[in-house]
Amino acid sequence: MKNKAVFFDRDKTIILPNNNNYIYRVGDFYIPDEYIEALKNLNESGYMLFVVTNQGRVAKGYLTEQDVHDVHNYLDQFFKENGIEFKEFAYCPHNPDGNVEPYNIVCSCRKPKSEMIEQLIDKYQIDAYCSWMIGDSKKDIIAGNSSGLKTILVETGYFNSFDEADFVEKDISFAAKRILGFKS
């Protein structure tokens, strides 16, 4: 039997920036209490949870892969302490507009491409038809659609409208309610 999952973009989706700044390191973000409850409800309903995030600022020299790992390790511990299990935190450090080698390349893992999601689907035997992508950008929605997932655009980023999203919700607490109430 295949598993069901929810894939989340990271920045401005499950974590929100302090003072509208970019998220580079631990301390640059916060997680609203209602997000914790929403994630817990998804976990308890049998959904595997994943983060799939572009971190192209590595290629631009603004942060290192260690900075990305530090944030993911912090999130993993924080969520575990709150009874939430994320199976994996996947990221793409590439950006063809960057200046740091070897990251300044065109790759197949940077959203809107779907390799990051498709690798997780294969690795964890996920049924894409029963699974979802939640993100705050057009790139997230395109990657989710390309992977056969249902998609929810959340209005917590700069981009709050896109016709190709299956649904648009205020944030992940509303997105979780949509998922848990969805009948295909």
Q: How do residues 19-35 score in pLDDT, each as one tens digit?
A: 877 899 999 999 999 99
CA–CA dist 4, 120 (Å, integer) = 12
Contacts of 96 (CB under 8 A, 6+ apart): 59, 104, 105, 106
pLDDT at 22: 87
Which regions in the chain score pLDDT beneath 50?
none
Active-site residue flag, 67: no
pLDDT at 163: 84
pLDDT at 1: 74
Q: Does residue 96 have a cis bond before it (omega within 30 degrees)?
A: no
Query: Which tokens in the block code for residue 4?
Result: 């069901």
81 — phi, psi (to 5°)? -65, -20
pLDDT at 20: 72
Active-site residue flag, 9: yes
Q: What percent of the chain has pLDDT over 90?
A: 91
| CATH code for the structural domain at 4-181 | 3.40.50.1000
Which listed residue (11, 67, 136, 140) is catalytic?
11
pLDDT at 52: 98
Report whether 177 contacts 13 (CB < 8 A): no
pLDDT at 183: 65
Partners of 151 in the beta sheet? Answer: 133
